[in-house]
Amino acid sequence: MLVAMRIIAGRYRSRTLKAPAGAATRPTSDRLRETLFNVLAPRIEGARFADLYAGSGAVGMEALSRGAAQAVFVERAAPALAALRANLAALGITVGFRIQTGGVAGFLRKAAGEQPFDIVFLDPPYDAAEEYAAALGLLGGGAAALLAADAVVVAEHRRKERLEERYGGLRRTRLLEQGDAGLSFYAAAREETSGMREDGQG
């Protein structure tokens, strides 16, 4: 069984997408995607976008529709991958994307030499706390080179289950809540100098 969604804005506006039903995929709602992209709008044009735990690919395709230069979809579940490929084909998207099959942590650990991303979106299953911790921990640590200098990392999660304020070098800069869902925005934390001036004098 498939559930229907739509592209909200941009080149593919109002086009229909399909996703497998059930909590394992749980596509980001149209309303929450609209909220997400209202915030990301100034960053989208020409961006390199990572859609981690991509599911049907709706978020990454929304980014492409709005002018992202490239989207990388990371997904391991066979039903979701089938829907993702079918959605790309239905929209006629043949360039500007890559599908990476397998787990997110494995991708982040092995992506040495990958061109940095401007925007990273991750939406693990809500109950998979270890996936949030692993992915955000890697992005704030060993895989930090995957982030452009001014990159933003966005995690969708259950509203009542708050994520950490910091994961290594990532610091939360914004939290948006809508319905049962939350969006936590992270950026690379600037090192604090405990009140010391650049000349080293207090």
Other CB atoms within 10 Å distance of the CB of residue 47: 21
Strand positions, DSSP E, the chain: 2-6, 16-20, 48-52, 70-75, 97-101, 117-122, 147-158, 166-167, 170-178, 181-188
pLDDT value at 108 more than 80: yes
pLDDT confidence bin for 126, thresholds 50/70/90: confident
In the block, tokens 């991958």 appear at 81
200 domain residue, yes or no: no
Assign 139 to helix, strand or coil: helix
Question: Has residue 176 got a pLDDT over 60?
Answer: yes
State whether residue 145 is helix, strand or coil: helix
Residue 5 corresponds to which amino acid? M
Q: Within a domain: residue 109?
A: yes
pLDDT of residue 22: 56
- Work out how many domains the chain is built from and give that number: 1
pLDDT, position 193: 34
* Residue 111 lies inside a defined structural domain of this protein: yes
Q: Is residue 40 part of a domain?
A: yes
**Structural domain contains residue 96:** yes
Q: CATH code at 158?
A: 3.40.50.150
Q: Are 73 and 58 in contact (CB under 8 A)?
A: no
**Would 83 be classed as within a structural domain?**
yes
> How many CB atoms sit inside 10 A of residue 38's CB?
11
pLDDT band at 100 (very low <50, low <70, confident <90, very high): very high
List the domain range (segments joined by +) for residue 102. 2-188
